[in-house]
Amino acid sequence: MIRFIIKRLLTMIPLLIGISFLCFAILQISPGDYVLSLTSGDQFSEELRRQITHEFGLDKPWPIQYLLWLGNALHLNFGMSLATRQPVTSVLWERMGNTMILSLSSLALAWGLAIPLGILSAVKRNTWVDRLNSLFAFTWISIPSFFVALLALLFAQRSGLFPVGGMHSADVDLMTGPEQFVDLLRHLVLPTLVLGLGGCAGIMRQMRGSLLDTLRDNYITAARARGLSERKVIVKHAVRNAINPLITIFGFSLAGLLSGAALVENVMAWPGLGRLILESVLSKDIYMVMGAFMLGATMLMLGNLFSDILLAITDPRIRLGK
Same domain, yes or no: 93 and 66: no
- C-alpha 201/C-alpha 179 separation (Å) is 33
Shared-domain flag, residues 26 and 95: no
Of 51-55, 188-192, 221-225, minimum mean pLDDT range? 51-55
Q: What is the CATH number of the domain that holds 245?
A: 1.10.3720.10
Distance CA 263, CA 145 (A): 7
**Considering the domain boundaries, does residue 79 fall inside one?**
no
Distance CA(224)–CA(237), nearest Å, equals 11
Residue 319 pLDDT > 70, yes or no?
A: no
Residues 128 and 267 in one domain: yes
Residue 269 CA to residue 163 CA, distance in Å, equals 11
Q: Is 82 inside any structural domain?
A: no
User: Is the pLDDT assigned to residue 185 strictly greater than 80?
Assistant: yes
Residues 152, 273: one domain? Answer: yes
Residue 183 pLDDT class (50, 70, 90 cuts): confident
> Do 110 and 239 fall within a single domain?
yes
Whether residue 50 is found in the same domain as residue 161: no
Whether residues 93 and 168 share a domain: the answer is yes
59 in a structural domain: yes
Domain-embedded: residue 213: yes
Do 201 and 270 sit in the same domain of this protein?
yes
Same domain, 62 and 93: no
Q: How confident is the model at residue 35 (pLDDT cuts 50, 70, 90)?
A: low
Quote the DSSP letter at residue 281.
Answer: H
Residues in the chain: 322
- pLDDT, mean of residues 89-105: 83
Residue 233 belongs to some domain of the structure: yes
Q: pLDDT tens digit string along 42-71?
A: 555 666 667 767 766 777 788 888 888 888
pTM of the model: 0.74
Question: Does residue 22 belong to any structural domain of this protein?
Answer: yes
Same-domain status, 148 and 18 = no
Tens of pLDDT, residues 242-271: 877 777 777 666 666 666 677 787 788 888
Domain match, 110 and 187 both: yes
pLDDT at residue number 61? 81
Lowest mean pLDDT segment, chosen from 29-33, 177-181, 220-224: 29-33
Domain count for the chain: 2
The tens digit of pLDDT for each residue in 124-181 reads: 888 898 899 888 888 888 888 778 888 888 888 888 788 877 777 877 777 787 888 8
Q: Taking a C-beta distance cutoff of 8 angstroms, is the pair 195, 261 a contact?
A: yes
Q: Helices 145-159 & 177-215, crossing angle to 10 degrees? A: 140
95 confidence band (pLDDT: 50, 70, 90):
confident
Range of the domain at 37: 2-73
| Co-location of 57 and 203 in the same domain | no
